[in-house]
Structure 1
Amino acid sequence: MSLFALGLNHETAPIAVREKLAFAPEELAAAVAELTAQKGVHEAAIVSTCNRTELYAAARDEATLLNWLAASRQLDAASIAPYLYRLPDREAVRHVFRVASGLDSMVLGETQILGQLKDAVREAQEAGGLGSSLNGLFQKAFSVAKAVRSETGIGANSVSMAAAGVKLAERLFPDIADLNVLFIGAGEMIELCATHFAARKPRRLSVANRTLERGQALASQFGGDAFALAELPDRLPQYDIVVTSTASQLPIIGLGAVERAIKVRKHRPVFMVDLAVPRDVEPEVGALPDVYLYTVDDLSELVRQGRAERQHAVVEADGIVERSADEFMQWLDNRALVPTIRALKDQAERLRRHELDRATKLLAKGEDPAAVLESLSLSLSNKLLHAPLAALNQADASQHGELIDAVRRLYHLHEGD
């Protein structure tokens, strides 16, 4: 059994591919259970965000993971293979540590991925997908992430997706304070975006969400109002800026709705940021002359600003990751020895008890204690040496060198012994 990380991210696949492989939050538990039910898959967890979909598994081979991923998304394995990275053992360990530390994110050093990773681990745990290997891996990953953030400046001068959205809007509009801003969804990403836009004091801030109560709770933090998502087609023309990030598996803003909104607005421009994967806004909307539509991939250049200034921190962080990966692999190797060590100790204990019982009976019969102790020590040493001596005597000539070296290491024998 080996550890594997198989997946794709913003570096290896465009959003059009990523959205096809994305898992909705409510799908994860069932997907993990289904994956671990595959022959040869012993443990599994799935991470699915706007920037990545990844399978982490303790499994016999990676082919099973690839075939399951393709089948679960109703795709052909050959069609998605060019976009995937397939990382075994130490490479997988290193990758998980870099993901948790924000080193593999579009926004270098961002902290949101750590929370998303913890959510994925919780889902996998509840679905029965975690065993000692993956649980140990993720706990070590969280520890590594903490060390990277506390010992390096990896998070300094970063430009978040939310901040990038504000910067782009300010390029289009002279003053956000004169505008109406709509947020669709009420998750963590929308809350971050609302925080950044609210700082510019827009004329109106609204939240549209499937669950009105949750939308109202978010809107109230920023002095805004909320309405149900079902009202969106009628309300859309009122807003100059629209930021959306939901878990919908289908677009919630179609071309027709935006065309009607633009007509009502008398062709005043609309700035739209679609941070969802799968996308919330139909791609064709971006071709409309009065709409400025940006996806997570379009924001990549802005969010990468500041990377040059943090290269020293990246080097430091990668050093922590590399050392930690070595430590974890050593831990895995040591775990593999546990059954053999336990069996060896059990065998020695059985021999000890047998000889002790025999000696106790002889002493009870009045045998000379010195003679009993001498017999016990000789019998015990002979039994303990029987297995290695038999292995040496019965081995083929081609095995002698290897066995002799092993015995000398095990018993600390030197050339003169």
Structure 2
Amino acid sequence: MTFFALGVNHHTASVELRERIAFNAERLSTLLSEQNAQEDLNDLVVVSTCNRTEIYANAENIDILLSWLAKTNDIDVKQLFNHVYRYENIQAVSHLMRVASGLDSLMLGEPQILGQVKTALSLAKDAGTVSSALNGIFDYAFYAAKRVRSETAVGSHAVSMGYAVAQLAHQVFSHPEKLVVLMVAAGEMNSLVAKHMADMGVAKIIICNRGMERAEKLRDEISSFVDVEIIPFAQLADHLYRADVISSCTGSLHQVIDYKEVKAALKKRRYQQMLMVDLAVPRDIDPKVENLDGVYLYGVDDLQTVIDENLAQRRQAAVEAEVMVNQLATQLVSKQKVKRAGGVIAAYRDAGNHVQQQELSLALQQLQSGEDAEKVLNDFSHRLTQKLLHPTSLLLREAVKENDPEYFDWMKENLQQILANNRIPKKNH
């Protein structure tokens, strides 16, 4: 089995394509549970966020992953082929670590992605599609992310999607203290937007969520900083006109704010400008809304241009973080190789012990029968040495027959150093 990573993200695919292959938690849970019974692909984790859909799996070949992603989303493999990236083994491990550390995010160093990857792993575990080996890779990726956060400046200055939305509002409106902000959904992303808006000192935040529990939780978290109101989701269209800033991230499969509703809200506002930010994939807001005079509509891809100015320090720190991730990925793969070699080493030692016991038994019998002790010991040491060195001699003979002379040279140099220093140097690649 090989460890693979395959997916699309904001670098390789448009938001339209990312919408088509995005998974919500309920659908993904069902698909993984069904996949658990399959033999060709049953050890996998799927990470699906606004900016990426990725499969991490132990499998026989990577084409299985591509076929599964295309089939489950009713999309032609050929259409998907040119937009996916593919990694295996150490490159796949390194990519997972970069994703978990926020080094591959739209917002460099964003902290939310680590929680999203952990949630994806938990969902896959519940569906029964995570082996101990795959779980170990993810645990090491989380360890790498923690190291990156604590030992580099990649996670400094609190740059996030929420911060970017707040900064965008500050640029569009000259008096943020007068703003009314409407949060459509109270999930993790919009909760961060709300907190940054509250820190910015807006006048009021309206929370519109399908369930009251999350809305009330968010209200309790920010009500000491800003005036908060909760409205029913069914009344969303009726309250659009009140908002200067609207941030929507529902996770719905269908648009929740349409063109006519925004047009009516604008008229009721006497065409005062509105900032609308759609953080959802699939999108929550009808894209035609951007054609309305007085409306500034931004999607997740648009925000990159807004936040570039805040990323200079993180990009500098990312160089250090990339080096750390590559080192940790190499360490993990080396540990895996050593672990896999453990059984071979144990068997080799057992075989050596067996030879030693056979020769010792023979020598003891010879001594007990009265043979000369010096001759018995000489014969014993000679036979034992010959039998223990025989496998190595065979390998050397085979190595010299190989087309690649470096293989024999490496073995020869290692054996020379073992004899001289009793240690094995690392092979240079």
Fraction of identical pairs, as percent: 37
- Could you tell me which amino acid in structure 1 is paired with residue 326 of structure 2? E
Partner Cα separation in structure 2 for residue 204 and residue 6 of structure 1: 43
Corresponding residue of 1:194: 194
Is the 2:363–2:380 contact (alpha carbons within 8 Å) kept by the matching residues of 1?
A: no
Letter aligned with residue 72 of structure 2: S
Q: How does 1:1-80 map to 2 (within 5 A)?
A: 1-35=1-35, 37-41=37-41, 43-80=43-80
Q: Is the 8 A contact 1:245 1:275 kept in 2?
A: yes
3-state SS of 1:304 partner = helix
Q: Which moved more, 1:62-71 or 1:297-306?
A: 297-306
Q: Distance in 2 between matches of 1:392 and 1:99?
A: 42
- Separation (CA, whole Å) in 2 of partners of 1:158 and 1:204: 23
State the 1:8 CA deviation: 1.3
Q: Does 1:250 align with 2:254?
A: yes
Partners of 2:258 and 2:285 within 8 A in 1? yes
Counterparts in 2 of 1:222 and 1:122: CA distance versus 1, 3 Å: same
Measure, in 1, the Cα distance between the counterparts of 2:137 and 2:392.
Answer: 40
Report the alpha carbon displacement of residue 108 of structure 1 after superposing the two structures with TM: 1.4
Contact residue 107 and residue 158 of structure 1 kept, 8 A: no
Shift of residue 261, structure 1, vs aligned partner = 2.4
Residue 31 of structure 1 and its aligned partner are, at CA, apart by 3.4
**TM-superposition CA deviations, 1:12-51 (whole Å, max 9, x none):** 1221111111111223333334456554436211111111
- Opposite residue 93 of structure 1, the aligned amino acid is V
Q: Does 1:388 align with 2:367?
A: no
CA distance in 2, matches of 1:213, 1:250: 23
**Contact 2:3/2:58 (<8 A) preserved:** yes
Q: Is the 2:355–2:384 Cα contact (8 Å) retained in structure 1?
A: no
Relative to structure 1, is the Cα distance of residues 153 and 382 closer, same or farther in structure 2, using a 3 angstrom cutoff? closer
| Alpha-carbon distance between aligned partners in 2 of 1:323 and 1:133, rounded to the nearest angstrom | 20
Map 1:315-326 onto structure 2 (within 5 A).
315-326=319-330
Q: Tell me, yes or no, if the aligned pair for 2:400 and 2:408 is still in contact at 8 Å.
A: no
Q: Give the Cα–Cα distance (whole angstroms) in 2 for the partners of residues 17 and 96 of structure 1.
A: 22
Given candidates 229, 234, 245, the residue that maps to 1:225 is: 229
Aligned to 1:239: 243
Alpha-carbon contact 1:182-1:242 (below 8 Å) kept: yes
Residue 54 of structure 1 aligns with an amino acid whose one-letter code is E
Match of 2:424 in 1: none
Name the residue aligned to 2:310.
306
Q: Does 1:264 align with 2:268?
A: yes
Letter in 2 for 1:300: Q
Q: CA offset at residue 88 of structure 1?
A: 1.8
CA distance in 2, matches of 1:22, 1:238: 32
Alignment of 1:362-373 (within 5 A): none
Task: Give yes or no for contact 1:209–1:229 (8 Å, CA) kept in 2.
Answer: yes
TM-score (norm 2): 0.83
1:297 and 1:396 map into 2 onto residues whose CA distance is 54
How many aligned positions are there? 412
Mapped partners of 2:331, 2:215: distance in 1: 45
Paired with 1:393 and 1:237, the residues of 2 have a C-alpha distance of 81
Q: Is 2:341 the counterpart of 1:342?
A: no
Among residues 274, 288, 291, which one is paired with 1:287 in the alignment? 291
The aligned counterpart of 2:426 is none
User: 2:167 maps to which residue?
Assistant: 167
Matched residue type, 1:180: V
1:58 match: secondary structure: strand
Matched residue, 2:279: 275
Amino acid at match of 2:282: P
CA gap 1:215/1:289 in 2 versus in 1, 3 angstroms: same
- Give yes or no for contact 2:256–2:284 (8 Å, CA) kept in 1: yes
Equivalent position amino acid for 2:245 in 1? I
Contact 2:399–2:408 (Cα < 8 Å) also in 1: no
1:399 and 1:209 mapped to 2: Cα distance?
67
Unaligned runs of 5+ in 2: 421-429
Amino acid at match of 1:21: I
CA pair 413-79 structure 1, distance change in 2 beyond 3 A: same
Q: Is the 8 A contact 1:40 1:61 kept in 2?
A: no
Which of 330-339 and 320-329 deviates more?
330-339
Measure how far apart 1:298 and its partner are.
1.0
TM-score (norm 1): 0.85
Q: What aligned pairs does 1:324-335 form with structure 2 within 5 A after superposition?
A: 324-335=328-339
- TM superposition shift of 1:239: 2.1
Question: 2:300 matched to which residue of 1?
Answer: 296
SS of structure 1 residue aligned to 2:310: coil
| Residue pair 1:6, 1:66 contacting (<8 A) in 2 also | yes
Distance in 2 (alpha carbons) for counterparts of 1:393 and 1:10: 51
Separation in 1, partners of 2:392, 2:309: 67
For residues 49 and 370 of structure 1, the distance between their equivalents in structure 2, rounded to whole angstroms, comes to 79
Aligned-residue offset at 1:342: 3.3
For the 8 Å contact 2:108–2:314, the answer to whether it is kept is no
Structure 1: 5+ residue stretches without partners: none
Taking a change above 3 Å as real, the CA distance of residues 211 and 389 of structure 1, as seen in their structure-2 partners, is: closer
Amino acid at match of 1:91: Q
Q: Which amino acid letter does the alignment assign opposite residue 146 of structure 1?
A: K
